Amino acid sequence: MGQITLNKVTKSFGEVQVIPPLDLDINDGEFVVFVGPSGCGKSTLLRLIAGLEDVTSGDIVIDGTPATDLPPAKRRLAMVFQSYALYPHMSVRKNIAFPMKMAGVSQEEQQRRIDGAAKALNLTDYLDRRPGQLSGGQRQRVAIGRAIVREPAAFLFDEPLSNLDAALRVGMRLEISELHKRLETTMIYVTHDQVEAMTMADKIVVLRAGHIEQVGSPLELYRTPRNLFVAGFIGSPK
Ligand code: ADP
Ligand code: MG
């Protein structure tokens, strides 16, 4: 589970094509990082995969099922938003339970998944607090917990750490990498931060103006960047 294929996907806003025809294969369990400068289409691509935007043409296949016309809730993908997307008036427990409540998961099953997520994220002692009583890192972990309990085929992260300070960011990178190791679920992670890309990815997708400049492992891109743009972005000595 968690295999995602994009076939000749394009996206235009009005007359402006921000994603020219794009092909991409994401394998089951892979940690894939979309990297590229601001405005290159990283968020748009993630939102197309999530179903939060409709493709203009082309198609998306998730685990062998045509997904192009499926609404977000039917794609079994969980988008992790930045920690400020939590409900401030609800406890951590209720924040984490919210997507399950919407999906009609039984109370018993909700409890089981909340316990599992809290344990995985070291939040067991914080379930009755409100987001305002937590640190930035704890809030970010709650946002991830809310995704975990949906038991998705893949997690989609859009610059989840960009509003955390530098020290916290380092810790959260480790948390997310650890979670990936533990769950073995596909993760697609958007960042404009080269260090995040190089340290977290199995596979990096370098984007520029909506098209893919190069795809490869961090080491491949470092050793054999296809051009100066990739080299510059990855920090290769070329
Ligand atoms: P990134 O996440 O890499 O910074 P985005 O995917 O947000 O880039 O944006 C890619 C391009 O698409 C930008 O030129 C942006 O202005 C444009 N764009 C994104 N969303 C919309 C929208 N809803 N309407 C019009 N243009 C948009
Ligand atoms: Mg973006």
Q: What is the pLDDT along the chain (238 residues), one digit of tens a residue?
A: 899 999 999 999 999 999 999 999 999 999 999 999 999 999 999 999 999 999 999 999 999 999 999 999 899 999 997 767 899 999 999 999 998 998 889 999 999 999 999 998 999 999 999 999 999 889 999 999 999 999 999 999 999 888 788 888 888 899 999 999 999 999 999 998 888 999 999 999 999 999 999 999 999 999 999 999 999 888 766 5
Nearest CA to ligand 1 atom 6: 41
Instruction: Find the helix or strand (DSSP H, E) in which 44 lies.
Output: helix 42-50
The per-residue pLDDT for range 76-91, each reduced to its tens digit, is 999 997 767 899 999 9
Ligand whose nearest atom lies closest to the CA of 37: 1
Is ligand 1 within 6 A of the CB of residue 131?
no
Is ligand 1 within 6 A of the CB of residue 40?
yes
Nearest CA to ligand 1 atom 1: 39
Going by C-alpha positions, the residue among 143, 149, 137, 6 that lies closest to residue 68 is 6
Give distance in angstroms: CA of 43 to centre of ligand 1. Answer: 7
Give distance in angstroms: CA of 98 to centre of ligand 1. Answer: 29
Which ligand 1 atom lies nearest to the CA of residue 159?
A: 2
Which ligand 1 atom lies nearest to the CA of residue 37?
A: 3
pLDDT given for residue 185 in this prediction: 96
Residue 114 · residue 149 · CB < 8 Å: yes
Ligand whose nearest atom lies closest to the CA of 13: 1
pLDDT given for residue 225 in this prediction: 95
Give distance in angstroms: CA of 41 to centre of ligand 1. Answer: 6
Three-class DSSP category at 169: helix
Question: Taking the model in full, what pTM does it have?
Answer: 0.93
Please enumerate in sequence order all residues whose Cβ is within 8 A of that of 110, keeping only pairs 6 or more positions apart, or say none. 97, 100, 101, 149
